[in-house]
Amino acid sequence: ELKVEQNPLFLSMQEGKNYTIYCNYSTTSDRLYWYRQDPGKSLESLFVLLSNGAVKQEGRLMASLDTKARLSTLHITAAVHDLSATYFCAVGKVKSSGDKLTFGTGTRLAVRP
Amino acid sequence: ETGVTQTPRHLVMGMTNKKSLKCEQHLGHNAMYWYKQSAKKPLELMFVYNFKEQTENNSVPSRFSPECPNSSHLFLHLHTLQPEDSALYLCASSQVWVEKLFFGSGTQLSVL
């Protein structure tokens, strides 16, 4: 059974600081996703990582994937308040029956002044 | 606007009620999903439909009954629910073999 673990579960950080969220998964996978969810809102796709060593960046967020270690990281650079949200990683298996994603528990990020 | 619309946004129901959740996608996708999001738990996949055919039932109790009349619409029929079924129910769609799921805003369900 595929398990996905994120840490930390909760992160309070000061504006301007850097931090990293970690996502470990237990079995091989086709792809890894990062999503963002604001309170009361839907999940918004941030990144899709498809291969070992993949790195993607969007603004102050950078995601990377190490398939050998079964680890993905989401690095936050110079945090701002707008980044406050819950971040989920999800690991996917592409199947002809539909993509099946297994989600981590999420990391709730609070950026304070 | 994600292209996936869910109604209602909020629903309060008693344990003896019957209600339905609706999801519609305007993206031309061929796969649709129901996920359950409970407090302090990971999102749980409930059902997957591919070209209107159910391809995944993740050991969901029979009090949840999905229906997919076409590739654009997905329903979740609810009956005799329990308080522990209170959660955010998210619908998603994707083009099979393509990279990502698009989620709706969800229905916040409270069972009294």
Encode pLDDT of B73-99 as tens digits: 999 999 999 999 999 999 999 887 656
pLDDT band at B35 (very low <50, low <70, confident <90, very high): very high
**Residue B97's pLDDT is what?**
60
A65-98 burial by CB neighbour count: b if 16+ within 10 A, else e?
Answer: bebeebebbbebbebeeebbbbbbbbbbeebebb
Backbone angles phi, psi at A81, to 5 degrees: -60, -35
**Residue A27's pLDDT is what?**
84
**Residue A98's pLDDT is what?**
58
Averaged pLDDT score across all residues of chain B: 89
Shortest distance between the Cα of B96 and any Cα of chain A, in A, equals 5
Residues of chain A positioned with their CB less than 8 A from the CB of B106: 42
CB-CB under 8 Å, B41 with A99: no
Contacts with A40 (C-beta within 8 Å, 6 or more apart), sequence order: B108
Averaged pLDDT score across all residues of chain A: 90
Residues of chain A positioned with their CB less than 8 A from the CB of B108: 40
Q: Measured between alpha carbons, how far is A24 from A27 in angstroms, rounded to an integer?
A: 10
Query: At which residue do the structure tokens 């999102």 appear?
Result: B43
Output the CA–CA distances (angstroms, integers) from residue B13 to A28, B36, B94, in the order listed: 41, 17, 30
pLDDT at B52 over 80: no
Q: B39 to chain A: nearest residue by CA?
A: A105
Residues of chain B positioned with their CB less than 8 A from the CB of A48: 99-100
In tens, the pLDDT along A71-83 reads 999 999 999 999 9
CB-CB under 8 Å, A100 with B56: yes
Structural contact between residues B87 and B42, judged by C-beta atoms closer than 8 angstroms:
no
Segment B4-25 shows an average pLDDT of: 94
CB-CB under 8 Å, B101 with A45: yes
Per DSSP bridges, beta strands B107-111 and B10-13 are parallel
Q: Measured between alpha carbons, how far is A100 from B3 in angstroms, rounded to an integer?
A: 20
Residues of chain B positioned with their CB less than 8 A from the CB of A96: 50, 96-97
pLDDT at A31 over 90: no
Residue B20: is it exposed, middle or buried by C-beta count within 10 angstroms (0-12/13-18/19+)? middle
Segment A42-57 shows an average pLDDT of: 90
**Residue A50's pLDDT is what?**
86
**Residue B59's pLDDT is what?**
83
In tens, the pLDDT along B54-69 reads 777 778 999 999 999 9
pLDDT band at B39 (very low <50, low <70, confident <90, very high): confident
**Residue A5's pLDDT is what?**
94
Is A113 at the interface with chain B, CB within 8 A? no
**Residue A46's pLDDT is what?**
94
**Residue A40's pLDDT is what?**
79
Q: Which two tokens stand for residue A90?
A: 């999800």
Segment A41-64 shows an average pLDDT of: 92
**Residue A20's pLDDT is what?**
97
Q: Measured between alpha carbons, how far is B54 from B73 in angstroms, rounded to an integer?
A: 13
pLDDT at A60 over 90: yes
**Residue A100's pLDDT is what?**
74
Query: At which residue do the structure tokens 């999503």 appear?
Result: A35
Output the CA–CA distances (angstroms, integers) from residue B19 to A57, A87, B63, in the order listed: 43, 31, 11
Structural contact between residues A14 and A81, judged by C-beta atoms closer than 8 angstroms:
no
Shortest distance between the Cα of A93 and any Cα of chain B, in A, equals 10
CB-CB under 8 Å, A48 with B99: yes
Structural contact between residues B89 and B20, judged by C-beta atoms closer than 8 angstroms:
no
**Residue A97's pLDDT is what?**
56
